[in-house]
Amino acid sequence: MARVPRLLPVLAYADLVHPAVAHRHHRTDSPLAPAPPSEGRRVRRMTTNQALWRSHQHGGPITHCFPDYSGTLTSNHDDVDPQLGMRPIHAATLATIWELHAAGVVLGLVSNTTEGQDRRRALQAAGVASLFENRVYLSHELGLNKRNSLFYRHILNDLGLNPGELMVCGNRIDADVRVPAAMGIRAVLLGPTETRAQLPTRATLITTIGDLPDILKGASRAHPR
């Protein structure tokens, strides 16, 4: 008798985030809910095997995702916007921001800044300020920069998070990866492939910001250490 292949159930992103977060961010009547995908657009989902991979790799649900700003949400190929006083959020990055929001994670922003570099203006100009709300942590306002573990400790205490519930992403291996990873925070480096050897244990490398949502579903383009 021919063997019938076992079909794996398909899970949406919301199945892999904390239920309270998923409920809050997937209400269809919410003004923040992203527009439904257009007809013919493929909605990315994951199988049970992928979900198990993610759970094993990352140790449980990631409820919050906080990218860095400069060099992570922006591109050095873009000119500084004189009205913003900084480079704007890169157009291609906006799709990633909306995809992370659709995944059900809570978005925030972390950035080393000086006076006048209020990243909230850039979020507002890009039309995504409402997704980040008051979760914008700037070094010049806190009196701490990201090379100091107290910067990240402040965020955990402010939001009542366990380290493993927070994922941060940036392009500086010391400030964005080594410091948070040592605290048990899920750290993601945005950089070239050859930097993988420099990653601390349990940190992950992506080569484009568009790969960041894939970490939530264990896609092969992410390179865990």
Beta strands at 136-138 and 166-170: parallel, antiparallel or unpaired:
unpaired
> Mind listing the pLDDT tens digit for each residue in 100-135?
888 888 999 999 999 989 999 999 999 999 999 999
Predicted pLDDT at 217: 62
Domain ranges, ordered by start, for the chain: 10-25+45-224
Please name the amino acid found at residue 35.
A
> Mind listing the pLDDT tens digit for each residue in 55-72?
455 556 788 999 999 999
Using 70 as the pLDDT threshold, list the residues of the chain that sit under it.
1-60, 217-225
CATH class of 10-25+45-224: alpha beta
CB–CB of 81/124 below 8 Å?
Answer: no
| Average pLDDT of every residue of the chain | 77
CA-CA distance, 22 to 5, in Å (whole number)?
Answer: 31
